[in-house]
Amino acid sequence: MIRQFTQSEFLFILASARWTLLLTVMSMLLGGLLGFLVALARTSRLAPLRALAAGWIGVIQGVPVLMLLFLSYYGLALAGFDLPPLIAATVSMALYASGFLGEIWRGSIQAVPWQQWEASSALAFSRPQQYRYVILPQAMRIAIPPTVGFLVQLVKNTSIVSIIGVVELARAGNLVNNATFQPFKVFGTVAAIYFVICWPISLLARRLEGRLHARRAG
């Protein structure tokens, strides 16, 4: 039986966007936390920590997200951890984010001129004080554009978790399309919702950037 694309189908798709949002927020938070540690390790004075972080970044960036997803879902299930799809999805997206954010933030930290390290050393700052008061505030400004760029990618890439059965935005669209055979309406709606999520993020980034620059010029 072919259904129509009515308000209830629309609401179903709209409601499923909450999983997309939740997944994005959770993987950004967890992945950001881990990615921050990776970035710190990557710029550490201890060579083993640097190597470990470099390895982590290399592996995460070199493996398709899909494999991370399968590993978290099927792999961990085999190992005896039976994770609900949403948890497995969050874990894999967070791991994915940690590798990319770690690398973005490493670059931002290293983009701060080395003289800033020297000037703060000369004033007897400890290493943590240098990070906290001198390096990270400057690295943050540098990190905003690429971080937001990645966040937008992340929103869209969450669609991949539909493969293990999480009914997020893309999967909801697919289900509705299967029942209605109205791909233009259905996927047009889905695309519009993705856009409505991503657009404000980009706008916000531009505003933040603008404000930081204005503050310095003012």
Residues forming contacts to another protein in the complex (CB under 8 A) are: 113, 115-116, 118-126, 129, 133-134, 137-138, 141, 215-218
Q: Which is nearer to another protein, 61 or 121 (CB)?
A: 121
Tokens of 75: 């792999």
Q: Give residue for tokens 């399309």.
A: 177
Q: Beta-carbon neighbour count of residue 217 at 10 Å? A: 6
Cα(first)–Cα(last) distance of the chain, in Å? 64
Q: Which is nearer to another protein, 110 or 116 (CB)?
A: 116
Residue 147 C-beta: closest distance to another protein, Å? 17
Residue 28 C-beta: closest distance to another protein, Å? 24
Residue 7 C-beta: closest distance to another protein, Å? 50
Q: CA 158, CA 92: separation in Å to the nearest integer?
A: 10
Residue 145 C-beta: closest distance to another protein, Å? 17
Q: Give residue for tokens 């990776």.
A: 38
Element spanning 48, H or E: helix 47-62
Q: Which is nearer to another protein, 78 or 123 (CB)?
A: 123
Going by the DSSP 8-state scheme, the letter that residue 165 receives in this structure is T
Residue 38 C-beta: closest distance to another protein, Å? 24
CB 169 within 8 A of CB 20: yes
Q: What are phi and psi of 176, to 5 degrees?
A: -65, -40
Q: Which is nearer to another protein, 67 or 119 (CB)?
A: 119
Q: Which is nearer to another protein, 180 or 209 (CB)?
A: 209
